[in-house]
Amino acid sequence: MNEITVTLPDGSTRRVPAGTTPGAVAAAISPRLAKAALAAVVDDRSVDLSFPLTEDARVRVVTPDSPEALHVYRHSTAHLLAAAVTNLFPGAQCGIGPATDDGFFYDFVVDRPFVPDDLDAIEKKMKELAAQDLPYERQMWSRDEAVRFFAEHGELLKVQLIEEKTAGQPDVSCYTIKDRDTFVDFCVGPHVPSSGRLKAFKLLSTSNAYWKGDANNQPMQRIYGTAFFSDKELQAHLQRIEEAKKRDHRKVGKDVGLFTFHPWAPGATFWLDKGTTLYNTLANYMREVLFPAGYVELKTPLIYNKALWETSGHWQHYRENMFLVSGRDGEEMAMKAMNCPGHMLVFGSEMRSYKDLPLRFHEQTPLHRNEASGVLTGLTRVRQFSQDDAHCFVTDAQIASEVGALLRLVQRVYGDFGLAYEAKLSTRPAEFLGEIATWDHAETALKQALEAAGQPYTINEGDGAFYGPKIDFDITDAIGRKWQCATIQLDYEMPQRFGLKYVGADNTEHCPIVIHRAIFGSFERFIALLIEHYAGAFPLWLAPVQVAILPIADRHLPQAQAVQARLAATGLRVQLDERQEKIGYKIREAQLQKIPYMLIVGDREAAEGTVAVRHRVSGDLGSRTVEEFISAASTEIRDKKVPEAVSA
Ligand SMILES: [Zn+2]
Ligand SMILES: [Zn+2]
């Protein structure tokens, strides 16, 4: 029999008979590895443990510690879900069932929407199938046979997938769980070897979906679930989900009265008074940060002739994401989805010299993106938003120092909010514009800037934009979720498209490089993050209402009003609770509204000219004069003190 050479990750080699499987290779290495093995990577291809090795190859066994393991495991669990659904709901048609970042889903065509009891029954059936340790087996079927089989079983979506994805192939990859009567799916794999490997999973929710995500297609029912290698990890995840629900910005935002939405303005926020206060606090904070750093603020038009978008390239590549508008003279126009093209026009509106650079344009005006209504979510997926956007026009020699300054700004801003974050440098993609030497130079400049700023980072090889490398920042919130917010993107392309020029020290014309950058990202998304991170209990400097004044009885009202006026005069955001309610009730209400300080005014306080100070978390802080309170609160605001415990 033919022998082949298998090369293991440590570089060692083994001679094995052709046809040996990665599962057998694992068993030959150690019984422990065989037990942990889930799948394998042969050369660069992910395969099942049962994949026959027919030629010399590099083989890596995938175990729970491998980076791709959870994905294979969750995708395999999605098939188990489909097996349970087709078993319990004869006639259900299967769509697709991918793994996601936190679990998996599977889409089905069924006669009626799933209800919570269905999920319990389906999960129970999945557990039964897992307990039976049924083999997942890959079978190559002739394409005609597969089409016939799925058509006969009413799985018309599978027929469609096979026809679309395997044109010209004689055979297609199908998987059975146990046998084709129990469950069969069209899939390229890989999967775990048997259902018994799936130990800890949970179905979470259902939602409406459409075949291929297109509302013109067949309506489907999606079941979401999650899976982990251990019950402990699963339970921890479920706890995080519960915690996330409590912090959900849509719920908290409503409870504390920050914003609302209306179906007549989908994806556009109605900021209520408190929300507007919070928004303006952030907007002005950003100005306070940016102006001393050499930025100027612009307000540019919201609607532009299509000529602008043709020049920027958005008309050709981005039009479907923009709101198109027609002028009354028939001009074709579009609402701006980003500020950059407008900033190019401003740059080009004057003769610029190298002495003007870096030139930094900051803008906070609204942007519109024509998102599909199905994907709109609270403040995180919207059609109208604003960014703390800026474009820095620099010379080649200024890239490193400008990016260095930007990194320090990011560090300062996230520090002020007590947010932990990490940086990722994305480098030249497979398809790119410009010269490799220019890219190498830019990437080196970014690395130097990151290192000089003491900013740890990881590299996403090949993940840059086609027009230049970029640095992205992921914030980790109080319950461990990541939010991508800040970005710093180098762009050699757009200034050229707009023919921008500056006169260099050599007295000849040069094209500037632009750095697109945002620190919050969008205000909407950043506010969603802040709400969920702080669970609605903002630090004093951000709280829309900073102080609630609570008179105990009507006779304390004049004193309470005097306190309110004094605090308001210093710029504190104050709310007076004049209602004829018991003081305990008023305190509870203020707590629910997450107001940081409560100042209680009763007989003693009225007589002494003091207030009884209560903090939302720390409770009773005792009696203070109004001036003492103002002084302490002002210090807390100035220092942007972040609460120690950020809990829901
Ligand atoms: Zn699969
Ligand atoms: Zn931009």
Residue 591 · residue 616 · CB < 8 Å: yes
The mean pLDDT of 619-642, rounded to a whole number, is 95
Peptide bond into 190 cis (omega under 30): yes
Residues, Cβ < 5 Å to ion ligand 2: 340, 516
- Give me the helices (H) in 318-435, please: 340-348, 399-416
Cβ-count burial of 419 within 10 angstroms (0-12 exposed, 13-18 middle, 19+ buried)?
A: buried
Lowest mean pLDDT among 156-160, 319-323, 386-390, 643-647: 643-647
Of the pLDDT bands very low, low, confident and very high (cuts 50, 70, 90), residue 465 is confident
Lowest mean pLDDT among 90-99, 224-233, 458-467, 569-578: 458-467
pLDDT for res 1: 66
Of the pLDDT bands very low, low, confident and very high (cuts 50, 70, 90), residue 648 is very low
Query: Tokens standing for 344?
Result: 């190019």
Of the pLDDT bands very low, low, confident and very high (cuts 50, 70, 90), residue 644 is low
Residue 70 · residue 237 · CB < 8 Å: no
pLDDT tops 70 at residue 477: yes
Using the mean position of ligand 2's atoms as its centre, give its distance from the Cα of residue 516 in Å: 4
Using the mean position of ligand 2's atoms as its centre, give its distance from the Cα of residue 44 in Å: 36
For 41, 147, 161, 163, the CA distances from 174, given in Å and listed in that order, are 19, 11, 12, 14
Q: What is the CA radius of gyration of the chain?
A: 30
pLDDT tops 60 at residue 340: yes
Backbone angles phi, psi at 570, to 5 degrees: -85, 0
pLDDT for res 311: 96
Residue 514 · residue 392 · CB < 8 Å: yes
Which ligand sits nearest to residue 72's alpha carbon?
Answer: 1
Which ligand sits nearest to residue 106's alpha carbon?
Answer: 1
pLDDT tops 70 at residue 645: no
Query: Tokens standing for 638?
Result: 């100035």
Give the position of tokens 């010399």: 56
What are 512-532's pLDDT values in tens digits?
999 999 999 999 999 999 999
* Residue 97: CB atoms within 10 Å: 25
Alpha carbon distance 15, 577 (integer Å): 82
Using the mean position of ligand 2's atoms as its centre, give its distance from the Cα of residue 440 in Å: 22
The mean pLDDT of 328-339, rounded to a whole number, is 95
Which residues make Cβ contacts (< 8 Å) with residue 206, sequence separation at least 6?
113, 114, 118, 119, 221, 222, 223, 224
What percent of the chain lies above the pLDDT cut of 90?
Answer: 93
pLDDT for res 482: 92
Catalytic residues: 340, 369, 387, 389, 391, 470, 516
pLDDT for res 175: 96
pLDDT for res 268: 97
Using the mean position of ligand 1's atoms as its centre, give its distance from the Cα of residue 96 in Å: 9
pLDDT tops 80 at residue 643: no
Alpha carbon distance 253, 459 (integer Å): 36
pLDDT for res 647: 46
Alpha carbon distance 384, 188 (integer Å): 40
Using the mean position of ligand 1's atoms as its centre, give its distance from the Cα of residue 61 in Å: 18
Using the mean position of ligand 2's atoms as its centre, give its distance from the Cα of residue 402 in Å: 16
For 289, 411, 482, the CA distances from 138, given in Å and listed in that order, are 59, 50, 36
pLDDT tops 80 at residue 598: yes
Alpha carbon distance 487, 21 (integer Å): 45
Which ligand sits nearest to residue 98's alpha carbon?
Answer: 1
Pick the most confident of 430-434, 447-451, 569-573. Answer: 569-573
Of the pLDDT bands very low, low, confident and very high (cuts 50, 70, 90), residue 355 is very high
Return the axis-axis angle of helices 69-88 and 116-131, rounded to nearest 10°: 110
pLDDT for res 62: 97
What are 18-47's pLDDT values in tens digits?
999 999 999 999 999 999 999 999 999 999
What percent of the chain lies above the pLDDT cut of 70?
Answer: 99
Residue 194 · residue 133 · CB < 8 Å: yes
Query: Tokens standing for 477?
Result: 């919130």
What are 364-418's pLDDT values in tens digits?
999 999 999 888 999 999 999 999 999 999 999 999 999 999 999 999 999 999 9
Alpha carbon distance 380, 487 (integer Å): 17
Using the mean position of ligand 2's atoms as its centre, give its distance from the Cα of residue 341 in Å: 8
Average pLDDT, the chain: 95
Which ligand sits nearest to residue 338's alpha carbon?
Answer: 2
The mean pLDDT of 316-344, rounded to a whole number, is 95
What are 74-86's pLDDT values in tens digits?
999 999 999 999 9
What are 172-211's pLDDT values in tens digits?
999 999 999 999 999 999 999 999 999 999 999 999 999 9
